[in-house]
Homo-oligomer: A and B are copies of this chain.
């Protein structure tokens, strides 16, 4: 992998752990090693060692054989990761019309590497598209029409690509 020019404070892996813990704390009540292991499809020893690192960074609280809590700092980070994830996932499903599962997978990977600006612009873009349908039929629907029957909408004033049937 190419060396990041600005050292990331947390690796994608660590972010996945934080995210998983936060999500479990939402769904169930407590996060346990076994749960995290299942959610991330990783064996338990991997979780134990990740938790040790996150503890050292004061992002989680975890004592042996106990359950896992996020510190204030860890929770803040987790919330941000989830925010990124949700934005990307919405973009893929709502704008690009990709089915949930693939959208989730892509979001899961991209959330760790996209720049803050890239993310903000995607959020703004969703906002914009939803706020501004531009005609009776909104952009996602029009785009879907382009994907599906493969035709441009009639009220489309564009030149170029007209010949593509």
Residues of A near any B CB (own CB < 8 A)? 1-3, 5, 11-13, 16, 40-42, 92, 95-98, 102-103, 105-106, 108-110, 113-115, 117-118, 121-122, 124-125, 127-128, 130-136, 139, 142-143, 146-147, 152-153, 155-162
Chain B contacts for A118, CB-based, 8 A? 92, 96, 98, 102-103, 106
Q: Residue on B with the closest CB to A124?
A: B147
Chain B contacts for A113, CB-based, 8 A? 106, 109-110, 113
Q: Residue on B with the closest CB to A46?
A: B3
Is B157 touching A133 in the complex (CB atoms < 8 A)?
yes
Copies, count: 2
Is A115 touching B105 in the complex (CB atoms < 8 A)?
yes
- Give 18 A-B pairs besides A128-B143, A130-B160 with Cβ atoms closer than 8 angstroms: A1-B13, A2-B41, A2-B42, A2-B108, A3-B41, A103-B118, A105-B115, A109-B114, A124-B143, A124-B146, A125-B143, A128-B142, A128-B146, A130-B158, A130-B161, A131-B152, A131-B159, A136-B157
